[in-house]
Amino acid sequence: MIRVHVFVEGQTEETFVRELLYKYFQEKDIYVNPILVRTSSIGKGGVVSYAKIKPQLDRKCREDKTAFVTTMFDLYGLPNDFPEGIPWQKLVTHSKKLNI
């Protein structure tokens, strides 16, 4: 069985993975595991910076070397310190954002 750990930003994404993606991928013998990111010692959810979540991603990659690790975060409001920046911001001007 293939395992995919999906780091999610909040409860909405966690529910989406658990209730929709899980069933779809289970039929294909792929186990999808949502993981709510920790933003502080007591808080979960909401990505505040890449520096805060990178250790969590690295740790999961080391713990389960045979599984895939991915993320599901909202592009809107994504912190600027993410690798490769935020590519969609470079493509869309402020006037075009108003029309989106």
* Maximum Cα interatomic distance, the chain, rounded to a whole number of Å: 47
Per the prediction, the chain carries an average pLDDT of: 83
Confidence of residue 59 (pLDDT cuts 50, 70, 90): very high
Question: Can you give the chain as a three-state secondary structure string?
Answer: CEEEEEEECCHHHHHHHHHHHHHHHHCCCEEEEEEECECCCCCECCCCCHHHHHHHHHHHHHHCCCCEEEEECCCCCCCCCCCCCCHHHHHCCHHHHHHC
Distance CA 14, CA 93 (A): 31
Could you please state the CATH topology (level 3) that the domain comprising 2-99 is classified under: Rossmann fold (3.40.50)
Query: What pLDDT digit, counting tens, does each position of 18-40 carry?
Result: 999 999 999 999 999 999 988 77
- Give 80's pLDDT tier (boundaries 50, 70, 90): confident
Name, of 29-43, 56-70, 86-100, the range with top average pLDDT.
Answer: 56-70
pLDDT of residue 52: 87
Q: What pLDDT, on a 0 to 100 scale, did the predictor assign at position 38?
A: 83
Which amino acid appears at position 7 of this protein?
A: F
CA distance 62 to 23: 27
